Structure 1
Amino acid sequence: MHKDTDFKNPPRRRIGALAVIRDGEESVLLVKKAYKEGKNWGLPGGAAHADEAPHDTWTREIREETGLDRAPGRLLVVDYVSYSEASGAAEGINLVFDGGTVSDTEIQLPEHEGEGAEITDFQFVPLYRLSDFVTPLTEKRIRSAVAVLEDNSSSAYLAEGCPQR
């Protein structure tokens, strides 16, 4: 019996579902997130709602942020992220799935009225330029996911973007 764990009232954790979507040139799709400060580009995707399965989160978020209607491909990376005192973001995991290959003409940014757009731009970015757009943590996560794709290896487990064994 696990007396140190309350299964009926577990600690608060966040589940994110993200996509690595590439173009024919092997560049990665990044979206510009209006609600973030600083390097506010990242992979399309977002946080699960209560009682929402990660694959459903992925499908919903990708549709909302890119206009693409598809199911997630292979799980590439599971990345554990600790609580952030700076942003207040809860501890959690990000599941990064293969989103396949598309052209930029297939991407349709959402039209938002009233509260403003969550996603304001998108760009396919070659790996050598990632650091110009994303935080070091996000860059490590993307590079690990692309390595799994390119090597056709099994999924990777990361903690804060760094491979774990």
Structure 2
Amino acid sequence: MHKDTDFKNPPRRRIGALAIIRDREESVLLVKKAYKEGRSWGLPGGAAHANEAPHDTWAREIREETRLERVPGRLLVVDYVSYSEVSGAAEGINLVFDGGTASGTEIRLPEHDDGEPEITGFTFVPLYKLSDFVTPLTEKRIRAAVAVLEDDFSSVYLAEGRPLTYG
């Protein structure tokens, strides 16, 4: 019996879906997020809406932030993140999926009619320069995901028990 867990009213948690997209030189795509201070660069992607599956979140966020139309490739990293007293962000998990390759000419910044844009820039960054752009946590996440890609570790992502179809 799980008396300490209420399945009808679970604790507040967030789900993030992020992409590793690389160019032909294997540099990683980073986007500049206007709402962040300091090292405001990060992987494209973001938080799931209520009742939105992680693979749908991923596709929506990648489309919104880069204008790329993609489905997520294989799941590379699941990263648990605890509650942040500094930002107030709820605990949760970030799922990092392979987003394939792209060139700078394929990516377009989002258009915003109302107020400030969420994404104000993008760049491809080689791994040895990551610390100039991202926080230590984000750098660890990126390096772990790239290691899975390069060492060809296998993982599977299922949607309601079934593999995603591509095509």
Please give the range of the TM-score, normalised by the shorter of the 2 chains. Answer: over 0.9
Which amino acid is 1:69 matched to?
Answer: E
Hey, what does 1:142 align to over in structure 2? 142
Cα distance in 1, alignment partners of residues 115 and 134 from structure 2: 25
SS of structure 2 residue aligned to 1:88? coil
Give yes or no for the alignment of 1:63 onto 2:63: yes
- Matched residues in 2 for 1:89 and 1:120: separation? 22
Secondary structure class of the residue paired with 1:17: strand
Distance 2:90 2:80 in 1: 11
User: Given residue 122 of structure 2, which amino acid in structure 1 is its aligned partner?
Assistant: F
SS in 2 for 1:98: strand
Alpha-carbon offset, residue 111 of structure 1: 1.0
1-structure distance, mates of 2:40, 2:15: 19
Aligned residue number for residue 164 of structure 2: none
1:3 deviation in Å? Answer: 1.4
The equivalent of 1:82 in structure 2 is 82
Letter in 2 for 1:43: L
Q: Which moved more, 1:106-115 or 1:62-71?
A: 106-115
Q: What TM-score does the superposition give when structure 1 sets the normalisation length?
A: 0.93
Partner of 2:102: 102
Q: What's the Cα RMSD here?
A: 0.6
* Residue identity matched to 1:123: T
- Counterpart amino acid of residue 62 in structure 2: I
CA distance in 2, matches of 1:129, 1:113: 34
Render the CA deviation track for 1:45-73: whole Å, top value 9, x for unaligned. 00000000000000000000000001000
Structure 1: 5+ residue runs without aligned partners? 156-165
Where does structure 2 lack aligned partners over 5 or more consecutive residues?
Answer: 156-167
Runs of 4+ in 1 over 4 A off after TM superposition: none
